[in-house]
């Protein structure tokens, strides 16, 4: 499973990239607003930090403007994945950009039917939002399972399932169990994966016992 971080905070991106465990970055207009930075220079900076896909989202909703924005974003760097909404216009843009060799991340997916359309449009990634589905008292993980199952039935679909709106580590674990290709998570959720009380207590015991030996490795 690939790990993307869902943020526009360059410090968090640098920190996580330094672990060697980060495979890409996803951003959206809300995250860019939160960063307080100018969009294009920020995306350029992020692309210089990570080698994997960096999702940069179009701002328009109509086809004509969206395709212009998408083509401009694609020129920023080779690892740009243009992010488009799962609308009729968005899928039209997806098909055109994909045919030109640009990676496309189709976002705001909330149904398996939408995911089928994105795959047919040639999307590189489909982003189903599990947390937002959970928020309306439905099971977001059922959506992931449905999409993974459908995609597996059709080898010609090359679209990767990118689980988005991840709220906690169990979303990641369940997604991995179902065979999702990618998860994109806020930095704090990724960092929670390291944590376990038995790891902490075990390490503390090892450190104390090592002190008692009076030895040093260096």
- List the catalytic residues: 83
Q: How many Å apart are CA 157 and CA 120, to the nearest integer?
A: 7
Q: How many Å apart are CA 67 and CA 154, to the nearest integer?
A: 28
- Token reading at 160: 């990767």
Q: How many Å apart are CA 184 and CA 17, to the nearest integer?
A: 14
Q: What value does the CA radius of gyration of the chain take, rounded to a whole number of Å?
A: 19
Q: How many Å apart are CA 123 and CA 95, to the nearest integer?
A: 7
Backbone angles phi, psi at 32, to 5 degrees: -65, -45
Q: How many Å apart are CA 144 and CA 173, to the nearest integer?
A: 12
CA 160 from chain centre, in angstroms, equals 11
Coil, strand or helix at 179: coil
76: CB partners within 8 A, 6+ apart: 40, 43, 44, 47, 56
Q: How many Å apart are CA 185 and CA 101, to the nearest integer?
A: 26
């Amino acid at each position: 499973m690939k790990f993307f971080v869902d943020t526009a905070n360059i410090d968090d991106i640098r920190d996580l990239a330094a672990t060697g465990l980060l495979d890409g970055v996803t951003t959206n207009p809300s995250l860019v607003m939160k960063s307080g930075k100018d969009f294009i220079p920020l995306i350029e900076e992020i692309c210089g930090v990570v080698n994997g896909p960096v999702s940069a989202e179009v701002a328009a909703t109509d086809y004509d403007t969206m395709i212009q924005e998408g083509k401009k974003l694609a020129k920023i760097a080779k690892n740009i994945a243009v992010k488009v909404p799962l609308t009729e216009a968005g899928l039209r843009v997806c098909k055109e950009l994909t045919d030109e060799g640009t990676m496309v991340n189709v976002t705001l997916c909330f149904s398996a039917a939408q995911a089928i359309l994105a795959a047919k449009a040639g999307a590189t990634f489909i982003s189903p939002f599990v947390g937002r589905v959970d928020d309306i008292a439905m099971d977001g993980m059922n959506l992931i399972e449905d999409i993974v199952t459908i995609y597996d039935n059709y080898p010609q679909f090359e679209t990767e399932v990118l689980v988005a709106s991840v709220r906690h580590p169990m979303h990641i674990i369940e997604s991995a169990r179902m065979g999702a290709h990618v998860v994109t998570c806020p930095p704090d959720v990724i960092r929670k994966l390291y944590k376990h009380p038995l790891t902490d207590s075990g390490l503390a015991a090892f450190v104390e016992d090592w002190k008692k030996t009076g030895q040093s490795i260096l």
